[in-house]
């Protein structure tokens, strides 16, 4: 039985969507990912993981999957042909329109599964705005927490594996190996940044950047470290984590005041 919201017929909405259903919206990106990965990397990761967790826990938690949002906030890669992005203003408007539409359903629960670090700040803003404007219960899930938001990056990448590096490449080897060309994988780590204490990825001082500021090929990390085995391990861990997080979301209520 389908768990894809868009495959339901209109009369089925009232029968199958309830007050505790969770609507899951994958959010990806279409942007350059260095010489070895496809433009669709963030989209493939977000959608692939969302499908896996809905397959695994959908019946138990009453999860319903929306089609992924492909075009998002990717203008840090605007220099690279093929990157397609929305402005911050447009993306927030799109997210508000999605929320307004979801608010017509019997449930108020909307969970974003984000595959692109450049979306994180806007999605956090949208979470609050959608709650204020449409009375939704909104949540932001990161299968891989961005490094500049406190996530991990392998020591071999000096904490700089934020784009097209070991982990993203490994996950794509497991999800879409047909789109990965490991013969083009290279190490591209801005080593001078790792020597800083504060102004660096994961440091206490965030900074504005464009990927071409850090690497001519647009990759920031060491793709040569990626393996299929690591990718499958990362996917399994992410699906387990997402499932546990969605279990709490399915039961979430604000405390009475």
pLDDT digit string, tens, across residues 139-148: 999 987 666 6
> Which residue shows structure tokens 């010489």?
35
> Which residue shows structure tokens 């940044």?
193
Q: What is the pLDDT of residue 138?
A: 98
Q: What is the pLDDT of residue 152?
A: 65
Q: What is the average pLDDT across 182-193? A: 92
pLDDT above 90: residue 150? no
pTM of the complete model: 0.95
Q: What is the pLDDT of residue 155?
A: 77
- For 67-89, write each residue's pLDDT tens digit: 999 999 999 999 999 999 999 99
Distance between alpha carbon 63 and the CA centroid of its chain, in Å?
17
- For 218-236, write each residue's pLDDT tens digit: 999 999 999 999 999 999 9
- For 108-118, write each residue's pLDDT tens digit: 999 999 999 99
> Which residue shows structure tokens 């990448």?
157
Residues β-bridged to residue 112? 25, 140
For residues 202 and 147, is the Cβ–Cβ distance under 8 A?
yes
Q: What is the average pLDDT across 183-189? A: 95
Strands 109-114, 137-141: pairing is: parallel
Burial of residue 162 (CB within 10 Å: 0-12, 13-18, 19+) is buried
- For 22-59, write each residue's pLDDT tens digit: 999 999 999 999 999 999 999 999 999 999 999 999 99
**Ordered structural domains, the chain, with CATH:** 19-245 (3.40.50.10310)
Burial of residue 249 (CB within 10 Å: 0-12, 13-18, 19+) is buried
């Amino acid at each position: 039985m389908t768990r894809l919201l868009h495959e339901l017929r209109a009369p089925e909405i009232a029968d199958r969507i309830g007050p505790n259903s969770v609507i899951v919206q994958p959010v990806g990106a279409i942007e350059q990912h260095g010489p070895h990965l496809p433009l669709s990397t963030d989209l493939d990761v977000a959608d692939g993981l969302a499908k896996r967790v809905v397959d695994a826990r959908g019946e138990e938690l009453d999860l319903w999957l929306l089609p992924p949002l492909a075009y998002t906030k990717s203008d840090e890669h605007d220099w690279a042909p093929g990157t397609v992005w929305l402005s911050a203003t447009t993306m927030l408007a799109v997210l508000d329109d999605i929320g307004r539409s979801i608010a017509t359903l019997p449930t108020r629960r909307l969970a974003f599964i984000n595959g692109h670090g450049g979306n994180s700040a806007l999605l956090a803003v949208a979470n609050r705005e959608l709650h204020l404007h449409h009375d939704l219960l909104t949540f932001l899930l990161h299968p891989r927490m961005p490094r500049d938001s406190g996530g991990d990056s392998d020591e071999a990448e000096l904490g700089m594996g934020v784009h097209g590096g070991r982990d993203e490449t490994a996950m794509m080897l497991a999800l879409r190996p047909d789109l990965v060309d490991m013969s083009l994988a290279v190490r591209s780590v801005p080593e001078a940044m790792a020597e800083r204490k504060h102004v660096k990825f994961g440091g206490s001082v965030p900074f504005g950047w464009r990927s071409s500021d850090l690497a001519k090929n647009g990759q920031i990390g060491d793709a040569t470290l990626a393996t299929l085995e690591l990718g499958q391990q990362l996917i399994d861990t992410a699906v387990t984590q997402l499932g546990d997080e969605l279990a709490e979301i399915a039961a979430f209520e604000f405390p009475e005041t």
